[in-house]
Amino acid sequence: MPKAKEKTVFVCDSCGNDTAKWEGKCPSCGSWNTLAEVRQANGHNRHSWM
């Protein structure tokens, strides 16, 4: 069985919002330097790491 393709998202430590690219400021809550890189397999729940 082929390996699931991974994608990278950036999740805000303050509000949990995710975005496809890193930004210095969270677009949802406005907190600075709170986006952390998370790799996830396609097809999984976006917050399965919690």
Measured over the CA atoms of residue 10, residue 28, residue 12 and residue 34, the dihedral's sign is positive
Please give the single-letter amino acid code of residue 31: S
pLDDT at 40: 86
Please give the single-letter amino acid code of residue 41: A
Domain spans of the chain, in order of start = 6-41
pLDDT band at 2 (very low <50, low <70, confident <90, very high): low
Write the pLDDT tens digit of every residue in 13-40. 999 999 999 999 999 999 999 999 999 8
Question: Does the global pTM surpass 0.75?
Answer: no
Report helix, strand or coil for 36.
strand
